[in-house]
């Protein structure tokens, strides 16, 4: 056990929330794309109530709905 290095926590990295630099629209598009690929139909995603947390996270409400396209 003496050979293991202690891992220090980079507090600056934890406090700098990089999620704030990503648009909510980009996150919605990414989630919709993944769900659509998994299910095989077009879905849309809506994110609301975004609250960024102190330690590089975010809490939000996600709504996923089937996209209705009458031309399909």
| pLDDT tens for each residue of 8-41 | 877 777 678 888 889 999 999 999 999 999 999 9
Mean of the per-residue pLDDT values for the chain?
A: 86
Q: Beta partners for 61?
A: 48
Do residues 43 and 65 touch, judged by C-beta distance below 8 A? Answer: yes
Break the chain into its structural domains and give their ranges.
Answer: 15-66
pLDDT over 70, % of the chain: 86
C-alpha to C-alpha distances, 66 to 22, 35, 40, 42, 44, nearest whole angstrom: 24, 10, 11, 6, 6
Q: Between residues 15 and 1, which one has the greater pLDDT?
A: 15
- Provide the whole-model pTM: 0.72
- What is the C-alpha to C-alpha distance for residues 64 and 62, in angstroms, rounded to an integer? 7
Structural contact between residues 47 and 59, judged by C-beta atoms closer than 8 angstroms: no
């Amino acid at each position: 056990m003496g050979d293991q290095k202690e891992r220090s926590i980079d507090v600056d990295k934890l406090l700098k929330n990089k999620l704030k630099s990503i648009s909510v629209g980009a996150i919605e598009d990414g989630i919709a794309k993944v769900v659509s690929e998994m299910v095989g139909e077009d879905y849309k995603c809506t994110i609301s109530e975004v609250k960024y947390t102190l330690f590089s996270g975010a809490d939000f409400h996600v709504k996923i709905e089937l996209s209705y396209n009458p031309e399909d």
